[in-house]
Copies of this chain bind each other. A is one copy, B any other.
Amino acid sequence: MTTSLKRKSTIRRKKKERITEQRKRQILDAALTVFSRKSFGAVTIPDISQEAGVAVGTIYNYFDNKHDLLLSLVRTYLITGPLVDLVARPPQWDDAEFMSSFLENRLTSGAENIGRFFFLFNEIQRNRELRDEYMADILTPLLKVLEKRVESGVASGAFHSSNPEVAARGLVGMILGFSLLRQIEGDRSPFQSTSNDEIVTEVTNLLLNGLLSRKDQSQ
């Protein structure tokens, strides 16, 4: 009976933990939805609580304060996901294949979300804690992986001779900036009737082959 009781209590604890995680997620999802509508500063806790369908006080049962909620938001949605996998387990393809695949992946799955997280770039710039964490966990590792690929590609002759640091930031930067422009243009983007595949192909092509045609290229 003691065993049974113990088991029961363990089961209950686990169940409780699961519920807690679900609630956190429920609130974070609501927060993200609201943040994509209003700017961060304009979002109020009641906004979030209403969207999440819980009381204001409930939010404070799961997060210390608004700032903590923001941090959790970043940790949950940015500092996880496919990018982290890519960095942690870079595939064994050759450098050109890797680049082309990386660009396609980011332009396809990353671009759709950039609008929702755009407000975070602002916060990241102003909030030292957030910035340090984002850089340490995401940006720097990603850039390092790309730099290494560029270096090895240059060494093997597959790539132009390039400064790897600039190239890595150029690649990531274009993905970021291109997605940002799509976000700003919104409804008025000329890509409404362009297939996403074509866009990805074109951008990848631009980055891999450049703008100039072969004959004009000056090595």
Q: Which residues of A does B touch, CB under 8 Å?
A: 38-42, 96, 99, 115, 118-119, 121-127, 131, 134-135, 139-140, 150, 153, 157-160, 162-163, 165-167, 169-186, 188, 190-191, 194, 198-199, 202-203, 205-219
Contact = CB atoms under 8 A, between A and B. Distances in A.
20 contacts: A38-B126, A39-B127, A40-B41, A41-B41, A42-B126, A115-B125, A134-B184, A140-B188, A157-B215, A159-B213, A160-B205, A162-B211, A163-B199, A165-B190, A166-B194, A166-B206, A173-B180, A176-B180, A177-B180, A210-B210
Interface of A is mostly: helix
B211 A135 contact: no
A188 B121 contact: no
Nearest to A175: B177
A65 B31 CA distance: 28
A206 B213 contact: no
B184 A135 contact: yes
A179 B40 CA distance: 23
Given A96-B212, A160-B212, A122 B125 contact: no
Contact of A210 (B39, B41, B124, B207): B207
A173 B153 CA distance: 24
Contact of A163 (B118, B157, B202): B202
A160 B210 contact: yes
A205 B217 CA distance: 10
A118 B186 CA distance: 18
A177 B172 CA distance: 7
Given A160-B210, A178-B177, A180-B177, A39 B40 contact: yes
B39 A123 contact: yes
Contacts of A119: 122
A99 B177 contact: no
A159 B212 contact: yes
Contact of A219 (B123, B135, B190, B214): B214
A122 B120 CA distance: 10
Chain A to chain B: the 6 pairs with minimum beta-carbon distance, closest first: A41-B41, A177-B177, A210-B210, A173-B177, A173-B178, A176-B177
